[in-house]
Amino acid sequence: MVDFNEISESLQRGDAEKVKELVKQALEEKVIPRDILENGLISGMNVIGVKFKNNEIYVPEVLIAARAMHAGMDVLRPKLVETGVKNIGKFVIGTVKGDLHDIGKNLVKMMLEGAGFEVIDLGVDISPDKFVEAVKEHQPNIIGMSALLTTTMVNMPEVIKALEDAGIRDKVKVMIGGAPITQNYAEQIGADAYSPDAASAVEEAKSFIA
Ligand code: B1M
């Protein structure tokens, strides 16, 4: 019988092969896919999120654990769809125009996916128009912008203005983050939330859904 702790611990160790094998085994044993997701994968990713926030582990460990999470999700996803497990919310994310940094954004994305969000990743160097198009197309609960440069963070208010001009600002929550971003800046440009790290981004996102 598969032990959820074993899945969680393998994920935390970043052992993608083991995670895959255990998830497959659990499915063969007719364990409910949602339980595997919540008690195995998400619970492991939550531990990673907390350790990362507390500086007990660093970027490489998070990326390796996230890769293991993806390996497990690849096996589980078709079953989750079949059994109708709903995402807890939809999140569109991208790095703003002119900015090519994506390591932090990818971490935020992976942690959000780990928490049960469907994440639409627009990539890097995303113009205000592309953000607006994505909101119209995907109708997310939240859009998240990442910026690592003081020269590109100024594109964040441009996105908010473009959402206003398109008449859809009130349809989504706007979250921003990245090394040069502060709570003050978020308030100044009218964003709904600022998150200093991936774990807080998940907490904020969950609070919007709640
Ligand atoms: Co760049 N770079 N870089 N760089 N780079 C910085 C940001 C810099 C601080 C280095 C320095 O000079 N000390 C500096 C910016 C200075 C400034 O603007 N004040 C800088 C510069 C100048 C540049 C170039 C202009 C260099 C050049 O070409 N002359 C150039 C710009 C290219 C461009 O974007 N147009 C450039 C290029 C690059 C690389 C391509 C080489 C590479 C990026 C690779 C990639 O991302 N695929 C790179 C890197 C790696 C860095 C540093 C070293 C590391 C950034 C990183 O990934 N950190 C960085 C110096 C540093 O920060 N020590 C630097 C790890 C990551 C996990 O943290 O992204 O902060 P971070 O994400 C965190 C939080 O901020 C938060 O959660 C994450 C996880 O906890 N977060 C969010 C991030 N986004 C969020 C969104 C949210 C919520 C939270 O909600 C939506």
Using pLDDT thresholds of 50, 70 and 90, give the confidence band for residue 115: confident
Mean pLDDT over 143-171 rounds to: 98
Q: Which residue type is seen at 49? A: G
Q: Are 74 and 125 in contact (CB under 8 A)?
A: no
**198 touches ligand 1 (CB under 6 Å):** yes
* Residue 57, pLDDT score: 95
CA of 35 to the centre of ligand 1 (A): 36
Please write the tens of the pLDDT for every residue from 1-37.
889 999 999 999 999 999 999 999 999 999 998 899 8
Atom index in ligand 1 nearest the CA of residue 193 equals 90
In angstroms, the CA 45 to CA 181 distance is 25
Q: Is the CB of 177 under 6 A from ligand 1?
A: yes
Residue 140 has, within 13 A of its CA and on its CB side, a CA count of: 24
Residue with CA at minimum distance from ligand 1 atom 83: 178
Does the pLDDT value for residue 108 go beyond 70?
Answer: yes
pTM of the model: 0.84
Mean pLDDT across the chain: 93
Please give the Cα distance from 39 to 11 (Å, whole number).
12
- Asked if residue 113 has pLDDT above 90, the reply is no
- Burial class of 41 by CB neighbour count within 10 A (0 to 12, 13 to 18, 19+): buried
pLDDT single digits (tens) 47-83: 998 898 899 999 899 889 989 998 998 898 888 767 7
For the residues 129-141, what does the mean pLDDT come to? 98
